C-alpha cells in the first residue's frame, strides 16, 4: 500500500498523466496489489480481488463524494441561470470601479460567491470574464499593473476563502471525510463551526491581500472616469431576475440556512440537505436546469479523482499502512514530546512547503491527510480531530505559484500578469498567512476547543 501511495505522490507531482487517468490507474493498483496481499485480520488469507475492489470503490459510497458532486451541480446551475454573474455585477455596480475600489470589489465578489458556488474553479471562471469585460470597457491597459492586480486578487482571494468556508473547496470535504473515518462523524466540524474557525482568519487575510497587492502592484490610475456607470449599465443589461434565477437563489439561501444550523436546530447533515437541493434544481417544472444542461457542465473527472482519493485514504487506514507510517514519523521526530502548538506549527509548515510540488489540493489531501491524521492520533493527550481540521486549512495555501491551484491557472490564462508578479504577491501572503495561523493557534482556536 505504501508503494501505491509513493506512486500516487510521484504521478500527481510530476503530472505525467491526466489526474483522472492516474486516479483510475491507482484504483486498479489497489484492486490487484492489495488484493494479492495478506489481510490484516488474518495474514494467512489474502484480501482477494473482491477485497481490493471494495477498498478501491470505497470512495464512491462516501458522503463526502456525494457532497462534492452535489456542489458541482450547484455550480453548474449558477452558470446555466447566470445568477453568479448577476451577483458579481450587482456588487460591482454598487461599489464602483476606482483603482482602490476595484480590488475591494474583486474580494467582496469572491467572498459572496464562496457561499453559493461550491467550486473554486467555477467561481473564478465566473468572475474573470466579467472583470475582463470591465477592463476593456474602462479602457484599461490589459498588461498594466491594475489589470494584473485585479486578476491576481481574484485568484488569491479564492484560495483564502477556500479556507474560510467548508463547502467552498473539495479538499475541505475530503479532509472532513478522513476525520470522520478516523474519529467518527461527531468529531468532524459542522459547516457553521468551520465558518467560525476559518472565516475570521480569511477576513484578516483578505485585508492583508488588499494591502499586499497595492504595495507590490501599485495601480497606474486611482480613479476611473465612468467606471461605476459602466458596471451599472452592464448590470441593467441583464434585465430583471428570471424565474429560474429566483428559484435558484431561494434554494441556495435555504441550503445556507440548513448548513449553518446543522446540529444546532436540526440533525440533517450537509451532504443530505445539499443532495435534496440538487434534486429540486433538476425537477421538471420547478427546477432551474435540465439533466442535459447539467451533464455538459459537470467536470466528471473531478468526481472520479475525489472518489479515488477517498479510496486511497481508506485503503491506507484499513491496511494499517497509515498507522505504521505515522508511528514511524512520531518516533523519528519525537512528536510526542512536543506541545500541541509546536506539532501544529511543524505539520502546517510541512504542508505549505509540500504544496509547491502539487497542482491539486485534492491530490495533496488524498495523499497526505490520512498519514497526518494518524500521526496526530498516535500522539497521546492531543486533540487530534481538532488539529486535523486545522491542518486542512493549510492545504489551500496555493499562493506562491500559478500551477498550485486551478483558479490561479484560470487567471494566468488571461495574460494580464506574469508568474513573477504572482509569486511576489504569493510569497508575502504565504508568510503572512502562516504567521496568522500561528497567532490563531495561540489565541482563537484554543477558545473553540480545537487545540
Question: How far is the C-alpha of 91 from the C-alpha of 113, rounded, in Å?
Answer: 11
Residue 247's pLDDT is 94
Burial track 349-363 (b if 16+ CB lie within 10 A, e otherwise):
eebbebbeebbbbbb
Residue 129, domain extent: 2-447
Q: Tell me the average confidence (pLDDT) per consecutive run of 10 residues in the chain, 451 residues long.
A: 87 82 93 89 85 90 81 86 84 68 88 86 82 74 89 96 93 90 86 95 98 90 66 82 93 89 83 91 91 90 85 85 82 87 94 85 87 90 94 94 87 89 96 98 96 87
- Cell reading at 219: 495601480
> Comparing C-alpha atoms, which of 40, 18, 25, 103 is closest to residue 311?
25
Q: How many CB atoms lie within 10 A of CB 321?
A: 21
Phi, psi of 262, rounded to the nearest 5 degrees: -60, 130
CB contact set of 180 (below 8 Å; sequence gap of 6+): 63, 64, 187, 188
Q: What confidence score (pLDDT) does residue 332 get?
A: 84
Query: By CB neighbour count within 10 A (0-12 exposed, 13-18 middle, 19+ buried), where does 23 fall?
Result: buried
| 3-state SS record for the chain | CHHHHHHHHHHHHHCCCCHHHHHHHHHHHHHHHHHCCECCCCCCCECHHHHHHHHHCHHHHCHHHHHHHHHHHHHHHHHHHCHHHHHHHHHHHHHCCCCCHHHHHHHHHHHHHHHHCCCHHHHHHHHHHHHHHHHHHCCCCCCCHHHHHHHHHHHHHHHHHHHHCHHHCHHHHHHHHHHHHHHCHHHCCCHHHHHHHHHHHHHHHHHHHHHHHHHHCCCCCCCCCCHHHHHHHHHHHCCCCCHHHHHHHHHHHHHHHHHHCECCCECCCHHHHHHHHHHHHHCCCCCCCCHHHHHHHCCHHHHHHHHHHHHHHHHHHHCCHHHHHHHHHHHHHCHHHCCHHHHHHHHHHHHHHHHHHCCCHHHHHHHHHHHHHHHHHCCCCCCHHHHHHHHHHHCCCCCCCHHHCHHHHHHHCCCCCCHHHHHHHHHHHHHHHHHHHHHHHHCHHHHCCCC
Give pLDDT, residue 1. 84
CB atoms within 10 A of CB 346: 12
**Degrees (nearest 5) of the Cα angle 354, 359, 361?**
70
What integer pLDDT is reported at residue 391 of this predicted model? Answer: 96
- Angle at the Cα of 378 from the Cα atoms of 376 and 384, rounded to 5 degrees: 30
* pTM for the full predicted model: 0.83
Q: Which three cell numbers stand for residue 205?
A: 487575510
Total tally of structural domains belonging to the chain: 1
Q: Which residue has the cell 501572503?
A: 429
Q: Which pLDDT score is estimated for 85?
A: 82
Q: Any idea which residue has 446555466 for its cell?
A: 80
Amino acid at each position: 500500500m505504501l508503494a501505491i501511495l509513493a506512486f500516487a505522490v510521484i504521478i500527481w507531482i510530476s503530472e505525467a498523466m491526466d489526474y483522472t487517468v492516474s486516479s483510475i490507474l491507482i484504483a486498479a493498483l489497489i484492486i490487484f496489489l492489495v488484493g494479492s496481499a495478506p489481510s490484516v485480520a488474518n495474514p494467512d488469507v489474502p484480501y482477494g480481488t473482491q477485497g481490493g475492489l471494495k477498498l478501491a470503490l470505497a470512495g464512491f459510497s462516501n458522503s463526502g463524494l456525494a457532497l462534492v458532486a452535489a456542489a458541482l451541480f450547484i455550480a453548474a446551475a449558477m452558470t446555466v441561470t447566470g445568477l453568479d454573474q448577476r451577483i458579481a455585477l450587482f456588487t460591482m455596480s454598487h461599489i464602483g470601479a476606482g483603482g482602490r475600489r476595484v480590488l475591494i470589489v474583486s474580494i467582496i465578489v469572491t467572498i459572496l460567491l464562496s457561499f453559493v458556488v461550491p467550486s473554486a474553479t467555477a467561481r473564478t471562471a465566473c468572475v474573470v470574464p466579467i472583470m475582463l469585460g470591465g477592463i476593456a470597457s474602462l479602457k484599461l491597459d490589459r498588461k498594466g499593473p491594475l489589470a494584473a492586480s485585479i486578476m491576481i486578487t481574484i485568484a488569491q482571494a479564492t484560495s483564502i476563502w477556500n479556507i474560510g468556508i467548508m463547502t467552498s473547496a473539495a479538499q475541505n470535504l475530503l479532509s472532513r471525510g478522513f476525520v470522520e473515518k478516523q474519529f467518527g462523524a461527531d468529531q468532524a466540524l459542522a459547516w457553521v463551526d468551520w465558518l467560525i474557525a476559518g472565516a475570521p482568519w480569511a477576513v484578516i487575510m483578505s485585508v492583508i491581500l488588499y494591502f499586499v497587492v497595492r504595495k507590490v502592484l501599485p495601480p497606474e490610475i486611482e480613479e476611473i472616469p465612468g467606471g461605476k456607470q459602466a458596471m451599472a449599465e452592464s448590470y441593467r443589461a441583464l434585465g430583471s431576475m428570471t424565474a429560474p434565477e429566483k428559484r435558484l437563489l431561494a434554494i441556495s439561501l435555504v441550503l445556507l440556512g440548513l448548513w449553518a444550523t446543522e446540529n444546532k436546530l436540526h440533525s440533517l447533515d450537509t451532504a443530505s440537505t445539499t443532495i435534496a437541493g440538487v434534486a429540486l434544481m433538476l425537477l421538471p417544472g420547478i427546477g432551474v436546469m435540465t439533466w442535459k444542461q447539467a451533464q455538459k457542465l459537470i467536470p466528471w473527472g473531478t468526481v472520479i479523482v475525489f472518489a479515488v482519493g477517498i479510496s486511497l485514504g481508506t485503503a491506507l487506514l484499513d491496511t494499517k499502512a497509515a498507522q505504521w507510517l505515522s508511528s514511524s514519523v512520531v518516533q523519528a521526530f519525537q512528536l510526542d514530546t512536543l506541545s500541541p502548538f509546536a506539532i501544529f506549527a511543524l505539520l502546517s509548515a510541512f504542508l505549505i512547503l509540500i504544496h509547491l510540488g502539487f497542482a491539486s489540493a485534492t491530490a495533496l489531501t488524498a495523499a497526505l491527510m490520512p498519514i497526518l491524521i494518524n500521526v496526530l492520533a498516535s500522539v497521546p493527550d492531543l486533540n487530534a480531530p481538532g488539529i486535523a481540521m486545522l491542518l486542512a486549512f493549510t492545504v489551500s495555501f496555493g499562493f506562491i505559484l500559478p500551477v498550485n491551484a486551478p483558479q490561479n491557472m484560470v487567471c494566468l490564462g488571461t495574460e494580464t500578469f506574469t508568474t513573477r508578479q504572482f509569486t511576489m504577491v504569493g510569497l508575502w501572503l504565504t508568510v503572512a498567512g502562516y504567521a496568522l495561523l500561528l497567532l490563531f493557534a495561540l489565541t482563537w482556536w484554543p477558545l473553540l476547543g480545537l487545540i
